[in-house]
Structure 1
Amino acid sequence: MGRKFVVGGNWKMNGDKNQIFEIISNLKEASLDSNVEVVLGIPAIYLAYVKSIVPDNIGIAAQNCWKAEKGAFTGEISPAMIKDIGVDWVILGHSERRTIFGETDELIAAKVDHALESGLKVIACIGETLEERESGITDQVVFKQTKALIPAIGNNWNNVVLAYEPVWAIGTGKTATPKQAQEIHATLRKWLSTNVSEDVANSIRIQYGGSVTASNARELGACPDIDGFLVGGASLKPEFVDIVNATK
Protein backbone atom coordinates (compact mmCIF):
# COMPACT_ATOMS: atom_id res chain seq x y z
CA MET A 1 0.00 0.00 0.00
CA GLY A 2 3.06 2.26 0.13
CA ARG A 3 2.51 3.40 3.72
CA LYS A 4 5.74 4.85 5.13
CA PHE A 5 6.71 3.31 8.47
CA VAL A 6 6.56 5.92 11.24
CA VAL A 7 8.21 5.56 14.65
CA GLY A 8 7.35 7.99 17.42
CA GLY A 9 9.38 8.36 20.59
CA ASN A 10 7.18 9.68 23.40
CA TRP A 11 9.51 10.92 26.15
CA LYS A 12 6.55 11.71 28.45
CA MET A 13 7.62 13.72 31.56
CA ASN A 14 11.26 12.67 31.39
CA GLY A 15 14.62 14.20 30.59
CA ASP A 16 16.77 17.21 31.38
CA LYS A 17 19.05 19.19 29.07
CA ASN A 18 22.04 16.93 29.68
CA GLN A 19 20.11 13.74 28.99
CA ILE A 20 18.39 15.29 25.98
CA PHE A 21 21.72 16.35 24.50
CA GLU A 22 22.98 12.75 24.89
CA ILE A 23 19.85 11.28 23.27
CA ILE A 24 20.00 13.63 20.30
CA SER A 25 23.77 13.14 19.90
CA ASN A 26 23.23 9.38 19.79
CA LEU A 27 20.55 9.76 17.12
CA LYS A 28 22.80 12.08 15.08
CA GLU A 29 25.60 9.51 15.10
CA ALA A 30 23.32 6.58 14.29
CA SER A 31 22.50 5.32 10.83
CA LEU A 32 18.70 5.60 10.81
CA ASP A 33 16.64 3.86 8.13
CA SER A 34 15.77 6.57 5.60
CA ASN A 35 12.53 4.72 4.79
CA VAL A 36 11.24 5.36 8.32
CA GLU A 37 9.75 8.64 9.52
CA VAL A 38 10.91 9.44 13.05
CA VAL A 39 9.01 11.83 15.34
CA LEU A 40 10.05 12.62 18.92
CA GLY A 41 7.40 13.66 21.48
CA ILE A 42 9.09 16.22 23.72
CA PRO A 43 8.03 17.82 27.04
CA ALA A 44 6.72 21.29 26.18
CA ILE A 45 9.43 23.13 28.10
CA TYR A 46 12.15 21.51 25.94
CA LEU A 47 10.48 21.72 22.52
CA ALA A 48 12.43 24.77 21.35
CA TYR A 49 15.73 23.38 22.69
CA VAL A 50 15.30 20.05 20.90
CA LYS A 51 14.21 21.81 17.73
CA SER A 52 17.48 23.78 17.84
CA ILE A 53 19.72 20.69 18.02
CA VAL A 54 17.83 17.90 16.23
CA PRO A 55 18.86 16.84 12.71
CA ASP A 56 16.52 17.55 9.82
CA ASN A 57 15.59 13.89 9.34
CA ILE A 58 13.81 13.76 12.73
CA GLY A 59 10.43 15.36 13.37
CA ILE A 60 9.33 16.91 16.67
CA ALA A 61 5.96 16.62 18.39
CA ALA A 62 4.40 18.33 21.37
CA GLN A 63 2.82 15.81 23.73
CA ASN A 64 -0.44 17.71 24.09
CA CYS A 65 -2.14 20.98 23.20
CA TRP A 66 -5.34 22.86 23.90
CA LYS A 67 -8.35 23.37 21.61
CA ALA A 68 -8.00 27.14 21.21
CA GLU A 69 -5.46 29.52 19.70
CA LYS A 70 -5.01 31.60 22.87
CA GLY A 71 -6.79 32.67 26.02
CA ALA A 72 -7.12 32.20 29.77
CA PHE A 73 -6.02 28.56 29.93
CA THR A 74 -3.25 28.56 32.51
CA GLY A 75 -0.61 25.92 31.91
CA GLU A 76 -1.79 24.98 28.43
CA ILE A 77 -0.08 25.47 25.06
CA SER A 78 -1.82 26.08 21.75
CA PRO A 79 -1.18 24.72 18.25
CA ALA A 80 -0.28 28.28 17.23
CA MET A 81 2.51 28.34 19.84
CA ILE A 82 3.75 24.93 18.72
CA LYS A 83 3.84 26.09 15.10
CA ASP A 84 5.51 29.36 16.11
CA ILE A 85 8.67 27.54 17.26
CA GLY A 86 8.82 25.42 14.11
CA VAL A 87 7.30 22.19 15.45
CA ASP A 88 4.92 20.33 13.13
CA TRP A 89 3.42 17.49 15.19
CA VAL A 90 1.34 16.92 18.31
CA ILE A 91 0.34 13.75 20.16
CA LEU A 92 -3.29 13.80 21.28
CA GLY A 93 -5.52 11.39 23.18
CA HIS A 94 -2.73 9.41 24.81
CA SER A 95 -4.08 6.93 27.35
CA GLU A 96 -2.42 8.87 30.17
CA ARG A 97 -4.35 11.96 29.13
CA ARG A 98 -7.54 9.89 29.06
CA THR A 99 -7.06 7.91 32.30
CA ILE A 100 -5.06 10.27 34.55
CA PHE A 101 -6.40 13.63 33.36
CA GLY A 102 -9.90 12.49 32.47
CA GLU A 103 -9.93 13.63 28.86
CA THR A 104 -13.07 12.49 27.05
CA ASP A 105 -13.46 11.37 23.45
CA GLU A 106 -15.26 14.68 22.79
CA LEU A 107 -12.46 16.83 24.22
CA ILE A 108 -9.80 14.89 22.33
CA ALA A 109 -11.79 15.30 19.12
CA ALA A 110 -12.01 19.07 19.70
CA LYS A 111 -8.24 19.20 20.21
CA VAL A 112 -7.61 17.16 17.07
CA ASP A 113 -9.95 19.42 15.09
CA HIS A 114 -8.19 22.62 16.16
CA ALA A 115 -4.68 21.17 15.79
CA LEU A 116 -5.36 20.08 12.21
CA GLU A 117 -7.08 23.37 11.42
CA SER A 118 -3.94 25.13 12.70
CA GLY A 119 -1.68 23.15 10.36
CA LEU A 120 -0.25 20.59 12.76
CA LYS A 121 0.04 16.89 12.00
CA VAL A 122 -1.49 14.67 14.67
CA ILE A 123 -0.65 11.34 16.25
CA ALA A 124 -4.08 10.39 17.61
CA CYS A 125 -4.05 7.65 20.26
CA ILE A 126 -6.71 5.02 20.89
CA GLY A 127 -6.79 1.82 22.93
CA GLU A 128 -8.49 -0.29 25.57
CA THR A 129 -7.76 -0.94 29.25
CA LEU A 130 -7.07 -4.40 30.65
CA GLU A 131 -10.58 -4.54 32.10
CA GLU A 132 -12.06 -3.71 28.71
CA ARG A 133 -9.93 -6.33 26.95
CA GLU A 134 -10.86 -8.99 29.49
CA SER A 135 -14.52 -8.03 29.06
CA GLY A 136 -14.21 -8.71 25.34
CA ILE A 137 -15.03 -5.16 24.25
CA THR A 138 -11.69 -4.14 22.72
CA ASP A 139 -13.22 -3.57 19.27
CA GLN A 140 -16.15 -1.64 20.72
CA VAL A 141 -13.86 0.70 22.68
CA VAL A 142 -11.45 1.30 19.80
CA PHE A 143 -14.28 1.92 17.33
CA LYS A 144 -15.98 4.37 19.72
CA GLN A 145 -12.77 6.35 20.26
CA THR A 146 -12.05 6.43 16.53
CA LYS A 147 -15.64 7.34 15.61
CA ALA A 148 -15.35 10.48 17.76
CA LEU A 149 -12.36 11.57 15.67
CA ILE A 150 -13.99 11.21 12.24
CA PRO A 151 -15.79 14.60 12.10
CA ALA A 152 -12.76 16.29 13.72
CA ILE A 153 -10.41 14.95 11.06
CA GLY A 154 -12.71 15.68 8.14
CA ASN A 155 -10.63 15.62 4.96
CA ASN A 156 -7.31 15.80 6.82
CA TRP A 157 -6.58 12.08 7.12
CA ASN A 158 -3.26 12.53 5.32
CA ASN A 159 -2.09 14.62 8.31
CA VAL A 160 -3.08 12.00 10.90
CA VAL A 161 -1.35 8.91 12.25
CA LEU A 162 -3.44 6.62 14.45
CA ALA A 163 -1.63 5.02 17.38
CA TYR A 164 -3.28 1.90 18.77
CA GLU A 165 -2.08 1.50 22.35
CA PRO A 166 -3.48 -1.27 24.54
CA VAL A 167 -3.44 0.60 27.85
CA TRP A 168 -2.63 -2.59 29.74
CA ALA A 169 0.65 -2.86 27.82
CA ILE A 170 1.95 0.67 28.40
CA GLY A 171 4.86 0.83 30.80
CA THR A 172 3.98 -2.60 32.20
CA GLY A 173 6.48 -4.69 30.29
CA LYS A 174 3.51 -6.60 28.86
CA THR A 175 3.11 -6.49 25.12
CA ALA A 176 0.30 -7.60 22.87
CA THR A 177 1.55 -10.54 20.85
CA PRO A 178 2.19 -9.77 17.18
CA LYS A 179 -0.94 -11.83 16.43
CA GLN A 180 -3.07 -9.79 18.88
CA ALA A 181 -1.67 -6.50 17.59
CA GLN A 182 -2.11 -7.43 13.93
CA GLU A 183 -5.69 -8.57 14.54
CA ILE A 184 -6.83 -5.26 16.05
CA HIS A 185 -4.95 -3.22 13.44
CA ALA A 186 -6.58 -5.21 10.63
CA THR A 187 -9.99 -4.99 12.30
CA LEU A 188 -9.63 -1.22 12.71
CA ARG A 189 -8.58 -0.82 9.09
CA LYS A 190 -11.64 -2.81 7.97
CA TRP A 191 -13.86 -0.63 10.18
CA LEU A 192 -12.34 2.52 8.66
CA SER A 193 -13.05 1.17 5.18
CA THR A 194 -16.73 0.82 6.08
CA ASN A 195 -17.12 3.98 8.18
CA VAL A 196 -14.80 6.45 6.43
CA SER A 197 -13.57 5.21 3.05
CA GLU A 198 -11.54 2.46 1.46
CA ASP A 199 -8.91 5.02 0.43
CA VAL A 200 -8.48 6.23 4.02
CA ALA A 201 -8.35 2.66 5.31
CA ASN A 202 -5.62 1.75 2.84
CA SER A 203 -3.54 4.89 3.34
CA ILE A 204 -3.83 5.68 7.07
CA ARG A 205 -0.77 4.71 9.10
CA ILE A 206 -1.58 2.84 12.29
CA GLN A 207 1.16 2.60 14.89
CA TYR A 208 1.38 0.06 17.66
CA GLY A 209 2.30 1.33 21.13
CA GLY A 210 2.70 -0.67 24.30
CA SER A 211 6.10 -1.68 25.73
CA VAL A 212 7.81 -1.77 22.32
CA THR A 213 11.47 -2.72 22.69
CA ALA A 214 14.36 -3.62 20.41
CA SER A 215 13.66 -7.29 21.13
CA ASN A 216 10.04 -7.32 19.94
CA ALA A 217 10.04 -4.52 17.33
CA ARG A 218 11.15 -6.63 14.39
CA GLU A 219 8.37 -9.23 14.79
CA LEU A 220 5.72 -6.55 15.41
CA GLY A 221 6.97 -4.48 12.48
CA ALA A 222 6.65 -7.43 10.12
CA CYS A 223 2.85 -7.49 10.58
CA PRO A 224 1.16 -6.17 7.43
CA ASP A 225 -1.20 -3.73 9.15
CA ILE A 226 1.29 -2.31 11.67
CA ASP A 227 2.82 0.83 10.15
CA GLY A 228 5.09 1.91 12.97
CA PHE A 229 5.42 2.27 16.71
CA LEU A 230 4.74 4.83 19.40
CA VAL A 231 7.55 4.07 21.83
CA GLY A 232 7.62 5.15 25.46
CA GLY A 233 10.49 4.35 27.83
CA ALA A 234 12.69 2.75 25.19
CA SER A 235 12.78 6.04 23.25
CA LEU A 236 15.01 7.44 26.01
CA LYS A 237 17.57 4.67 25.51
CA PRO A 238 20.12 3.84 22.80
CA GLU A 239 17.95 0.86 21.74
CA PHE A 240 15.54 3.35 20.14
CA VAL A 241 17.86 3.27 17.12
CA ASP A 242 17.30 -0.49 16.79
CA ILE A 243 13.52 0.04 17.00
CA VAL A 244 13.65 2.66 14.23
CA ASN A 245 15.65 0.23 12.12
CA ALA A 246 13.48 -2.81 12.94
CA THR A 247 12.11 -3.14 9.42
CA LYS A 248 15.43 -2.56 7.64
Structure 2
Amino acid sequence: MRPLTIIGNWKMNGSLAANQQLIEELLSSKDFLANLQGVRTGLCVPYPYLSQVSQLLAKSSIACGAQDVSDHPNGAYTGDVSAKMLQDFACQYVIVGHSERRQFHQEGDGLVARKAKACLQANITPIICVGETEAEHDDGKTLTVVRRQLQAVLDLLQGQIASCVIAYEPVWAIGTGKVPTPAQAQDVHRELRLQLAKFDDEAASKVAILYGGSLKPDNAKDLLAMPDIDGGLVGGASLNAKDFLALCQACK
Protein backbone atom coordinates (compact mmCIF):
# COMPACT_ATOMS: atom_id res chain seq x y z
CA MET A 1 0.00 0.00 0.00
CA ARG A 2 1.28 3.47 -0.90
CA PRO A 3 1.81 5.79 2.06
CA LEU A 4 -0.49 8.78 2.41
CA THR A 5 1.69 11.88 2.37
CA ILE A 6 1.10 15.55 3.23
CA ILE A 7 4.02 17.90 2.55
CA GLY A 8 3.91 21.59 3.36
CA ASN A 9 5.70 24.09 1.13
CA TRP A 10 6.16 27.38 2.95
CA LYS A 11 7.48 29.05 -0.22
CA MET A 12 9.17 32.39 0.62
CA ASN A 13 7.41 32.86 3.94
CA GLY A 14 8.33 32.58 7.58
CA SER A 15 10.34 34.18 10.35
CA LEU A 16 12.13 32.76 13.36
CA ALA A 17 9.28 33.74 15.67
CA ALA A 18 6.45 32.67 13.35
CA ASN A 19 8.13 29.35 12.57
CA GLN A 20 8.52 28.47 16.22
CA GLN A 21 4.93 29.40 17.01
CA LEU A 22 3.56 27.33 14.11
CA ILE A 23 5.57 24.22 14.92
CA GLU A 24 4.85 24.47 18.64
CA GLU A 25 1.14 24.65 17.81
CA LEU A 26 1.41 21.54 15.66
CA LEU A 27 3.41 19.54 18.17
CA SER A 28 1.19 20.52 21.09
CA SER A 29 -1.97 19.35 19.34
CA LYS A 30 -2.97 15.87 20.48
CA ASP A 31 -5.44 15.70 17.58
CA PHE A 32 -2.69 16.52 15.10
CA LEU A 33 -0.29 13.95 16.50
CA ALA A 34 -3.01 11.30 16.55
CA ASN A 35 -3.81 11.94 12.91
CA LEU A 36 -0.19 11.48 11.87
CA GLN A 37 -0.46 7.74 12.36
CA GLY A 38 -0.25 6.17 8.92
CA VAL A 39 0.39 9.55 7.24
CA ARG A 40 3.85 10.78 6.22
CA THR A 41 4.21 14.50 6.84
CA GLY A 42 6.90 17.04 6.14
CA LEU A 43 7.57 20.77 5.98
CA CYS A 44 9.74 22.16 3.18
CA VAL A 45 11.08 25.51 4.33
CA PRO A 46 13.36 28.29 3.02
CA TYR A 47 17.10 27.64 3.37
CA PRO A 48 17.72 30.18 6.20
CA TYR A 49 15.27 28.32 8.45
CA LEU A 50 16.52 24.76 7.93
CA SER A 51 18.61 24.77 11.10
CA GLN A 52 15.79 26.08 13.26
CA VAL A 53 13.07 23.87 11.80
CA SER A 54 15.16 20.70 11.76
CA GLN A 55 15.88 21.19 15.47
CA LEU A 56 12.25 21.91 16.32
CA LEU A 57 11.09 18.79 14.45
CA ALA A 58 13.96 16.55 15.55
CA LYS A 59 11.96 14.51 18.07
CA SER A 60 8.73 14.45 16.07
CA SER A 61 7.46 12.34 13.19
CA ILE A 62 7.28 15.40 10.92
CA ALA A 63 10.13 15.49 8.41
CA CYS A 64 12.13 18.56 7.53
CA GLY A 65 12.69 19.37 3.86
CA ALA A 66 14.05 22.02 1.50
CA GLN A 67 12.46 23.76 -1.46
CA ASP A 68 15.24 23.37 -4.02
CA VAL A 69 18.72 21.96 -4.50
CA SER A 70 21.65 22.34 -6.87
CA ASP A 71 22.36 19.64 -9.40
CA HIS A 72 26.08 20.08 -8.61
CA PRO A 73 27.81 18.44 -5.61
CA ASN A 74 30.03 21.48 -4.90
CA GLY A 75 32.10 24.14 -6.65
CA ALA A 76 31.86 27.69 -7.99
CA TYR A 77 28.07 28.01 -8.02
CA THR A 78 27.43 31.08 -5.92
CA GLY A 79 24.04 31.02 -4.24
CA ASP A 80 23.43 27.32 -4.84
CA VAL A 81 23.00 24.74 -2.09
CA SER A 82 24.07 21.13 -2.58
CA ALA A 83 22.28 17.98 -1.45
CA LYS A 84 25.27 17.17 0.73
CA MET A 85 24.78 20.45 2.58
CA LEU A 86 21.10 19.63 3.09
CA GLN A 87 22.13 16.34 4.70
CA ASP A 88 23.73 18.36 7.50
CA PHE A 89 20.27 19.66 8.40
CA ALA A 90 18.62 16.22 8.39
CA CYS A 91 16.56 17.05 5.31
CA GLN A 92 14.45 14.10 4.23
CA TYR A 93 12.69 15.76 1.29
CA VAL A 94 13.52 18.32 -1.37
CA ILE A 95 11.05 19.84 -3.83
CA VAL A 96 12.44 19.88 -7.38
CA GLY A 97 10.87 21.29 -10.52
CA HIS A 98 8.21 23.38 -8.80
CA SER A 99 6.35 25.45 -11.37
CA GLU A 100 7.69 28.65 -9.83
CA ARG A 101 11.25 27.43 -10.40
CA ARG A 102 10.37 26.41 -13.95
CA GLN A 103 8.68 29.73 -14.67
CA PHE A 104 10.81 32.31 -12.87
CA HIS A 105 14.19 30.56 -13.11
CA GLN A 106 13.69 28.90 -16.50
CA GLU A 107 14.43 25.43 -15.15
CA GLY A 108 13.97 22.81 -17.85
CA ASP A 109 13.05 19.15 -17.66
CA GLY A 110 16.67 17.99 -17.86
CA LEU A 111 17.80 20.19 -14.96
CA VAL A 112 14.88 19.01 -12.84
CA ALA A 113 15.87 15.40 -13.49
CA ARG A 114 19.49 16.11 -12.53
CA LYS A 115 18.37 17.75 -9.30
CA ALA A 116 16.28 14.69 -8.48
CA LYS A 117 19.32 12.49 -9.08
CA ALA A 118 21.45 14.68 -6.81
CA CYS A 119 18.90 14.20 -4.04
CA LEU A 120 18.92 10.43 -4.41
CA GLN A 121 22.71 10.34 -4.30
CA ALA A 122 22.48 12.03 -0.89
CA ASN A 123 19.72 9.66 0.30
CA ILE A 124 17.14 12.46 0.21
CA THR A 125 13.71 11.90 -1.32
CA PRO A 126 12.99 14.27 -4.21
CA ILE A 127 9.44 15.53 -4.62
CA ILE A 128 9.32 15.93 -8.40
CA CYS A 129 6.73 18.45 -9.56
CA VAL A 130 4.95 18.29 -12.90
CA GLY A 131 2.08 20.37 -14.21
CA GLU A 132 0.70 22.37 -17.09
CA THR A 133 0.10 26.10 -17.48
CA GLU A 134 -3.36 27.56 -18.00
CA ALA A 135 -2.69 28.01 -21.72
CA GLU A 136 -1.56 24.40 -22.03
CA HIS A 137 -4.61 23.28 -20.07
CA ASP A 138 -6.96 25.28 -22.28
CA ASP A 139 -5.30 23.83 -25.39
CA GLY A 140 -5.88 20.28 -24.16
CA LYS A 141 -2.14 19.63 -23.72
CA THR A 142 -2.19 18.62 -20.05
CA LEU A 143 -1.22 14.97 -20.53
CA THR A 144 1.36 15.79 -23.20
CA VAL A 145 3.10 18.23 -20.87
CA VAL A 146 3.13 16.13 -17.71
CA ARG A 147 4.22 13.01 -19.58
CA ARG A 148 7.16 14.91 -21.09
CA GLN A 149 8.19 16.29 -17.71
CA LEU A 150 8.01 12.89 -16.04
CA GLN A 151 9.75 11.11 -18.91
CA ALA A 152 12.87 13.25 -18.50
CA VAL A 153 13.13 12.02 -14.93
CA LEU A 154 12.49 8.39 -15.86
CA ASP A 155 15.15 8.50 -18.57
CA LEU A 156 17.82 9.76 -16.17
CA LEU A 157 16.96 7.96 -12.95
CA GLN A 158 16.31 4.55 -14.45
CA GLY A 159 15.72 2.11 -11.57
CA GLN A 160 15.70 4.78 -8.86
CA ILE A 161 12.21 6.14 -9.49
CA ALA A 162 10.72 4.00 -6.70
CA SER A 163 12.59 6.20 -4.21
CA CYS A 164 10.90 9.39 -5.45
CA VAL A 165 7.64 11.21 -4.84
CA ILE A 166 5.73 12.78 -7.73
CA ALA A 167 3.54 15.87 -7.31
CA TYR A 168 1.01 16.96 -9.92
CA GLU A 169 0.49 20.71 -9.62
CA PRO A 170 -1.58 22.31 -12.36
CA VAL A 171 0.06 25.72 -12.63
CA TRP A 172 -3.28 27.44 -13.26
CA ALA A 173 -4.51 26.21 -9.85
CA ILE A 174 -1.55 27.24 -7.70
CA GLY A 175 -2.57 30.08 -5.41
CA THR A 176 -5.53 31.01 -7.61
CA GLY A 177 -8.37 29.23 -5.84
CA LYS A 178 -9.12 27.37 -9.07
CA VAL A 179 -9.12 23.62 -8.58
CA PRO A 180 -9.71 20.77 -11.02
CA THR A 181 -12.57 18.48 -10.14
CA PRO A 182 -11.54 15.33 -8.27
CA ALA A 183 -12.26 13.34 -11.45
CA GLN A 184 -10.05 15.64 -13.56
CA ALA A 185 -7.19 15.42 -11.06
CA GLN A 186 -7.60 11.64 -10.86
CA ASP A 187 -7.38 11.35 -14.66
CA VAL A 188 -3.95 13.01 -14.63
CA HIS A 189 -2.72 11.00 -11.65
CA ARG A 190 -3.85 7.78 -13.31
CA GLU A 191 -1.98 8.66 -16.50
CA LEU A 192 1.17 9.41 -14.53
CA ARG A 193 0.91 6.07 -12.77
CA LEU A 194 0.38 4.28 -16.08
CA GLN A 195 3.50 5.99 -17.42
CA LEU A 196 5.42 4.80 -14.35
CA ALA A 197 4.05 1.28 -14.86
CA LYS A 198 5.34 1.14 -18.43
CA PHE A 199 8.78 1.88 -17.06
CA ASP A 200 8.67 -0.09 -13.81
CA ASP A 201 5.44 -1.81 -12.79
CA GLU A 202 6.59 -2.48 -9.23
CA ALA A 203 7.67 1.12 -8.73
CA ALA A 204 4.32 2.38 -10.04
CA SER A 205 2.56 0.55 -7.22
CA LYS A 206 4.83 2.17 -4.61
CA VAL A 207 5.43 5.75 -5.73
CA ALA A 208 3.23 8.32 -4.00
CA ILE A 209 1.70 10.82 -6.42
CA LEU A 210 0.56 13.96 -4.61
CA TYR A 211 -1.85 16.66 -5.72
CA GLY A 212 -1.00 20.34 -5.26
CA GLY A 213 -2.68 23.55 -6.32
CA SER A 214 -5.07 25.42 -4.01
CA LEU A 215 -5.45 22.30 -1.86
CA LYS A 216 -7.36 23.34 1.24
CA PRO A 217 -9.35 21.68 4.03
CA ASP A 218 -12.66 22.34 2.25
CA ASN A 219 -11.69 20.50 -0.96
CA ALA A 220 -9.12 18.01 0.29
CA LYS A 221 -11.39 15.15 1.32
CA ASP A 222 -12.89 14.68 -2.14
CA LEU A 223 -9.53 14.99 -3.90
CA LEU A 224 -7.72 12.65 -1.53
CA ALA A 225 -10.48 10.06 -1.90
CA MET A 226 -9.41 9.42 -5.50
CA PRO A 227 -7.60 6.07 -5.96
CA ASP A 228 -4.41 7.48 -7.51
CA ILE A 229 -4.09 10.61 -5.35
CA ASP A 230 -1.84 9.70 -2.45
CA GLY A 231 -1.74 12.98 -0.56
CA GLY A 232 -0.95 16.62 -1.10
CA LEU A 233 1.79 19.17 -1.62
CA VAL A 234 0.37 22.09 0.29
CA GLY A 235 1.21 25.77 -0.03
CA GLY A 236 -0.64 28.41 1.98
CA ALA A 237 -2.49 25.93 4.18
CA SER A 238 0.84 24.69 5.58
CA LEU A 239 1.41 28.09 7.18
CA ASN A 240 -1.62 27.63 9.43
CA ALA A 241 -1.56 24.91 12.08
CA LYS A 242 -5.33 24.41 12.06
CA ASP A 243 -5.45 24.07 8.26
CA PHE A 244 -2.48 21.69 8.15
CA LEU A 245 -4.15 19.55 10.81
CA ALA A 246 -7.38 19.48 8.79
CA LEU A 247 -5.50 18.30 5.70
CA CYS A 248 -3.97 15.44 7.66
CA GLN A 249 -7.42 14.53 8.92
CA ALA A 250 -8.68 14.47 5.34
CA CYS A 251 -6.32 11.58 4.64
CA LYS A 252 -8.27 9.36 7.03
1:229 aligns with 2:224: no
SS at match of 1:239: helix
Tell me which amino acid in the other structure corresponds to 1:72.
A
- Using structure 2 for the length normalisation, give the TM-score: 0.95
Aligned length: 246
- 5 Å-filtered alignment, 1:16-55, equals 16-30=15-29, 31-32=31-32, 33=35, 34-54=37-57, 55=59
1:184 maps to 188
How far apart in 1 are the matches of 2:63 and 2:160? 19
Instruction: Using the TM superposition, give the Cα deviation of residue 23 of structure 1 relative to its aligned residue in structure 2, in angstroms.
Output: 1.0
Is contact 1:112–1:152 with CA below 8 Å preserved after alignment?
no
Is contact 2:186–2:229 with CA below 8 Å preserved after alignment?
yes
Tell me which amino acid in the other structure corresponds to 2:216.
T
Instruction: Using the TM superposition, give the Cα deviation of residue 56 of structure 1 relative to its aligned residue in structure 2, in angstroms.
Output: 2.1
SS at match of 1:65: coil
- 5 Å-filtered alignment, 1:14-163, equals 14-30=13-29, 31-32=31-32, 33=35, 34-54=37-57, 55-163=59-167
SS at match of 1:155: helix
How far apart in 2 are the matches of 1:191 and 1:159? 16
SS at match of 1:230: strand
2:200 maps to 197
Is contact 2:163–2:207 with CA below 8 Å preserved after alignment?
no
Is contact 2:162–2:204 with CA below 8 Å preserved after alignment?
no
CA RMSD of aligned residues (A): 1.1
SS at match of 2:205: helix
Structure 2 segments unaligned to the other structure (5+ residues):
none
Is contact 2:113–2:153 with CA below 8 Å preserved after alignment?
yes
Is contact 1:6–1:229 with CA below 8 Å preserved after alignment?
yes
Tell me which amino acid in the other structure corresponds to 2:249.
N
How far apart in 2 are the matches of 1:42 and 1:245? 22
* CA deviations over 1:199-234 (Å, ceiling 9, x no partner): 122211100000000101111111110001000011
How far apart in 2 are the matches of 1:152 and 1:115? 13
2:213 maps to 210
How far apart in 1 are the matches of 2:9 and 2:249? 17
Tell me which amino acid in the other structure corresponds to 1:216.
N
Structure 1 segments unaligned to the other structure (5+ residues):
none
Is contact 2:41–2:61 with CA below 8 Å preserved after alignment?
yes
How far apart in 2 are the matches of 1:218 and 1:26? 23
SS at match of 1:88: strand
* CA deviations over 1:45-81 (Å, ceiling 9, x no partner): 0001001111420001110010112111111110000
Is contact 1:116–1:153 with CA below 8 Å preserved after alignment?
no
Is contact 1:167–1:210 with CA below 8 Å preserved after alignment?
yes
How far apart in 1 are the matches of 2:70 and 2:218? 36
SS at match of 1:71: coil
Q: Which runs of 4+ in 1 moved over 6 A?
A: none
- Using structure 1 for the length normalisation, give the TM-score: 0.96
Tell me which amino acid in the other structure corresponds to 2:118.
H
Percent identity for Structure 1 against Structure 2: 40
Structure with greater proportional helix content: 2
1:12 maps to 11
1:152–1:118 Cα change, 3 Å: farther
